[in-house]
C-alpha cells in the first residue's frame, strides 16, 4: 500500500461531469488499497471571476488581506464538491481548507510562502480511511488570517503535502497530457517531453510555461519529490520531473513565453560610479525583483539603463525611480508594457557555442527585432514586442526542435 498525492487543476474540476470523472479516478486508486490525498484548484476560471468581482467593488485595488479571503473561497467550493462526488460513489472522503490541513505561511498576502505544513489532521483523516481533499493554494498566517500562494499555487500545496508525508507518488493532473517543448496550444507541433530535470523544469516554469508553478518545482527539487504531470482527460503517460536525467549532449528542452512583464527605460543619466547601485538598491527596497538589465555605453558623460520587471510591479517601480530623480538627475523614465520574453531552456546551453546565433537567426528570419538579451547556464532569453511573441515562439521552436 502506498500514499498517493493527486492534484487537479481548474479545468479538471470545472463542472459536475468533470468532478465525477475525477472522483472516479480517485476512487479507483482508493479501492486498490492506496491512501489518497487530493489537492484541488478552484473550478474553471472561478479565481479570475472572483478577482473581477473585487475590481468591481473597489476599482482602486482591494486590500491584499481581503483578496485572500475572497480567492480562497474558490478552492473551498471545489474541495467540498469533490468530496461529495467521492462520497456519492460510496467512498469515505473529507474536505479540508488550507488552515485545517496545517499550512502555516508567512504574511505576504496574495503571494504567501509556506513556512511549514503541520500534517496531524491529514494523517488523522487518512488513519480513518478517508480520502482527504485539500483546498489548494491557501494557508493561514501567525495572525490566523487566510493567505494564498499566488496564481497557480495549488501545485505548491500538492508538492508540500507529498514532501511532508513522504508520498510514494505526486501526480499533477491538468488539461494537457504532459510538459511539452512549447505551449501545445500555441505551437501545434510541440513535442511531449517524457522526462525532464528539476532545473530545466524550473527554468521553463519561471520563464512562463504555466503548466507547473515555479515555486512547486523549487520545492520538489529541494525535497526530492518526483512529479508526474499528466492529463485528467486521457490515460496517456505524462511527463516525469526528477533529478539526474541521463544526457550525453546538449538538449534544448523547450521554448517558453512570458507576457507578464514591463520594461523600464531610464535615459540621460549622468554616468558616475554608483548609479546602478542606487537604482537597483531602491527597487529592492520596494520589494521589486529585476529580471534583465541593459546598460548602454557612456556617451558625452550620459548613459541609459534599461531593465525588465513583472508587469504588476510597473507602477511601483516608476514611483521608486522617480524618488531618485533629484539624486540621479536623469532626463526621463519611461515604461513599455507591450513586451514579451521568449526563452529557450536546455542543459548545457552556456557551454555550447551557436545557440544564441541560432535563436537570433530564427527571429531575424521572421523580421522580429530584439530589445534585450540575457544568458544563463541553461537558458537564453530575449525581450521582443508583445505583438511578435507568438510568432517568435514558433520561429525559435522550429529552429531548435525537429
Ligand atoms: P491547471 O489549471 O491544471 O493548473 P494550467 O492552466 O495552470 O492548468 O496549466 C496548463 C496549461 O499550461 C496548458 O493548458 C498549456 O496551455 C499551458 N502551457 C504552457 N506552456 C506549456 C508547456 N511547455 N507544456 C505544457 N503546457 C504548457
Ligand atoms: N485557483 C488558483 C488560480 O487560479 C490557484 C490554482 O489554480 O492553482 O491561480
Ligand atoms: Mg496551474
Q: Is 185 in the pocket of ligand 1 (CB under 6 A)?
A: yes
What is the arithmetic mean of pLDDT over 350-369? 93
Mutate to test the pocket of ligand 2, among 51, 97, 103, 154 (most ligand atoms within 8 A of CB): 154
Pairing, β 169-174 against β 227-231: parallel
173-202 residue pLDDT tens:
999 999 999 999 999 999 999 999 999 999
Ramachandran class of 289: left when φ > 0, alpha when ψ lies in -120 to 50, beta otherwise: beta
For residue 1, how many other CB atoms are within 10 A of its CB? Answer: 7
Residue owning grid cell 521552436: 397
Counting atoms of ligand 1 from 1, which one is nearest the CA of 209? Answer: 20
17-45 residue pLDDT tens:
999 999 999 999 999 999 999 999 999 99
pLDDT of residue 245: 66
For residue 246, how many other CB atoms are within 10 A of its CB? Answer: 5
* Cβ atoms of residues 256 and 182 within 8 Å: yes
Q: Is 136 in the pocket of ligand 1 (CB under 6 A)?
A: no
Q: How far apart are CA 269 and CA 383, in angstroms?
A: 23
Alpha carbon of 82 to ligand 3 centroid (Å) = 18
Give the closest ligand to the alpha carbon of residue 13.
1
Q: Is 10 in the pocket of ligand 2 (CB under 6 A)?
A: yes
User: What are the CB-based long-range contacts (under 8 Å, 24+) for 111-119?
Assistant: 111/148, 111/149, 111/150, 112/68, 112/139, 112/141, 112/147, 112/148, 112/149, 112/150, 113/149, 113/215, 114/139, 114/149, 114/156, 114/157, 114/160, 114/219, 117/160, 117/161, 117/164, 119/161, 119/164, 119/165
pTM for this prediction: 0.91
Q: Is 41 in the pocket of ligand 2 (CB under 6 A)?
A: yes
Which residue's C-alpha comes closest to atom 4 of ligand 1? Answer: 9
326-355 residue pLDDT tens:
888 899 999 999 999 999 999 888 888 889
* Cβ atoms of residues 67 and 54 within 8 Å: yes
- Number of alpha carbons in the 13 Å side-chain half-sphere of residue 168: 7
Alpha carbon of 92 to ligand 1 centroid (Å) = 31
Amino acid at each position: 500500500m502506498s500514499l498517493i498525492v493527486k492534484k487537479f487543476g481548474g479545468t479538471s474540476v470545472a463542472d459536475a461531469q468533470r468532478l465525477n470523472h475525477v472522483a472516479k479516478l480517485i476512487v479507483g486508486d482508493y479501492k486498490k488499497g492506496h491512501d489518497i490525498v487530493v489537492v484541488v484548484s478552484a473550478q474553471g476560471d472561478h479565481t479570475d471571476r472572483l478577482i473581477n468581482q473585487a475590481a468591481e467593488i473597489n476599482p482602486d485595488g482591494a486590500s491584499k488581506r481581503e483578496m485572500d479571503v475572497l480567492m480562497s473561497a474558490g478552492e473551498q467550493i471545489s474541495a467540498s464538491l469533490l468530496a461529495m462526488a467521492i462520497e456519492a460513489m460510496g467512498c469515505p472522503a473529507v474536505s479540508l481548507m488550507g488552515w485545517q490541513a496545517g499550512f502555516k505561511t508567512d504574511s505576504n498576502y496574495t503571494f504567501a510562502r509556506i513556512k511549514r505544513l503541520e500534517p496531524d489532521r491529514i494523517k488523522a483523516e487518512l488513519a480513518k480511511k478517508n480520502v482527504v481533499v485539500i483546498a489548494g493554494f491557501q494557508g493561514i498566517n501567525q495572525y490566523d488570517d487566510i493567505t494564498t500562494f499566488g496564481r497557480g499555487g495549488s501545485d505548491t500545496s500538492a508538492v508540500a503535502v507529498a514532501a511532508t508525508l513522504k508520498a510514494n507518488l505526486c501526480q499533477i493532473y491538468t488539461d494537457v497530457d504532459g510538459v511539452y517543448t512549447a505551449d501545445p496550444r500555441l505551437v501545434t507541433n510541440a513535442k511531449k517531453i517524457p522526462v525532464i530535470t528539476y532545473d530545466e523544469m524550473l527554468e521553463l516554469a519561471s520563464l512562463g510555461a504555466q503548466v507547473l508553478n515555479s515555486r512547486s518545482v523549487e520545492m520538489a527539487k529541494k525535497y526530492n519529490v518526483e512529479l508526474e504531470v499528466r492529463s485528467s482527460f486521457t490515460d496517456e503517460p505524462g511527463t516525469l520531473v526528477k533529478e539526474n536525467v541521463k544526457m550525453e549532449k546538449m538538449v534544448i528542452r523547450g521554448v517558453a513565453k512570458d507576457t507578464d512583464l514591463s520594461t523600464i527605460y531610464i535615459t540621460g543619466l549622468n554616468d558616475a560610479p554608483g548609479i546602478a547601485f542606487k537604482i537597483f538598491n531602491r527597487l529592492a527596497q520596494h520589494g521589486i525583483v529585476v529580471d534583465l538589465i541593459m546598460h548602454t555605453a557612456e556617451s558625452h558623460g550620459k548613459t541609459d539603463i534599461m531593465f525588465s520587471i513583472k508587469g504588476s510591479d510597473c507602477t511601483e517601480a516608476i514611483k521608486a525611480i522617480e524618488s531618485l530623480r533629484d539624486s540621479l538627475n536623469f532626463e526621463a523614465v519611461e515604461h513599455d508594457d507591450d513586451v514579451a520574453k521568449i526563452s529557450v531552456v536546455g542543459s548545457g546551453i552556456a557551454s555550447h557555442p551557436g545557440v544564441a546565433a541560432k535563436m537570433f537567426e530564427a527571429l531575424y528570419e521572421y523580421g522580429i527585432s530584439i530589445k534585450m538579451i540575457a544568458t544563463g547556464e541553461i537558458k537564453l532569453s530575449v525581450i521582443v514586442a508583445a505583438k511578435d511573441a507568438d510568432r517568435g515562439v514558433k520561429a525559435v521552436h522550429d529552429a531548435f526542435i525537429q
